[in-house]
Chain A
Amino acid sequence: GQNIDQPTEMTATEGAIVQINCTYQTSGFNGLFWYQQHAGEAPTFLSYNVLDGLEEKGRFSSFLSRSKGYSYLLLKELQMKDSASYLCAVRSYMNSGYSTLTFGKGTMLLVSP
């Protein structure tokens, strides 16, 4: 089976930096995604890692270590609008030959003034 763990909640202040961790256990690993989801809305894509290392994209960066089953999402220069749930999702190849995307429970980030 698959297991994805991430903290339930985090708080930070405007302008700060926050790191959201994600650990996973899966077979047939084929990539890790980070999504942002505001309440009542669908997830929006933030980043994708399939090789080890850091991917930087503006204020957002994501890191992956496949050997450790570990990823983090780094948010810099936090803004109030960054208050949302951040979902770690792992893509895996299944025995059926198809791949599926499995989501963690999400980390609710609250940014305060």
Chain B
Amino acid sequence: GAVVSQHPSRVICKSGTSVKIECRSLDFQATTMFWYRQFPKQSLMLMATSNEGSKATYEQGVEKDKFLINHASLTLSTLTVTSAHPEDSSFYICSARDRGANMYGYTFGSGTRLTVV
């Protein structure tokens, strides 16, 4: 079945630095990529939706200049957390839909645990 590879799985960075998270669709073309954030004991909150070759659509309250999303190809989308702060520490998960998606066509990456110290 469809697989989304997400890296890194875990990252610790210093406050003020930037971190890039990658999601690759391995055996399908991801026309749309969703980026979620999940705080402890909370559900997944959609941050932004990106479509290949166009600008991402950010959800209300998500700073687009802080969370940079690039979906330059049909197999790769990246999320860069710029000038990270401790409050950005969270579990970030991507989800992709493939071109031939049926109703079941949401595939999740394995998630990235970001800790900002």
Q: Given A42-B109, A45-B104, A98-B32, A105–B42 Cβ distance below 8 Å?
A: yes
Residues of B contacting A96 in the complex (Cβ-Cβ under 8 angstroms)? 57
From residue B109, how far is it (CB to closest CB) to chain A in Å?
Answer: 6
Task: Please state if A104 and B103 are interface contacts (CB–CB under 8 Å).
Answer: no
From residue A61, how far is it (CB to closest CB) to chain B in Å?
Answer: 17
B interface bracket (residues with beta carbon within 8 Å of A): 20 to 34
Residue interface bits B85-111, CB-to-A below 8 A is 1, else 0: 000000101010000000110101111
From residue A111, how far is it (CB to closest CB) to chain B in Å?
Answer: 18
Instruction: Check if B13 is an interface residue, CB within 8 A of chain A.
Output: no
Task: Please state if B43 and A105 are interface contacts (CB–CB under 8 Å).
Answer: yes
Task: Please state if B49 and A103 are interface contacts (CB–CB under 8 Å).
Answer: no
Q: Given A42-B93, A98-B51, A101-B34, A106–B43 Cβ distance below 8 Å?
A: yes
Instruction: Check if B113 is an interface residue, CB within 8 A of chain A.
Output: yes
CB < 8 Å neighbour of B106 from A45, A104, A105, A106:
A45
Q: Given A42-B109, A42-B110, A96-B57, A48–B91 Cβ distance below 8 Å?
A: no
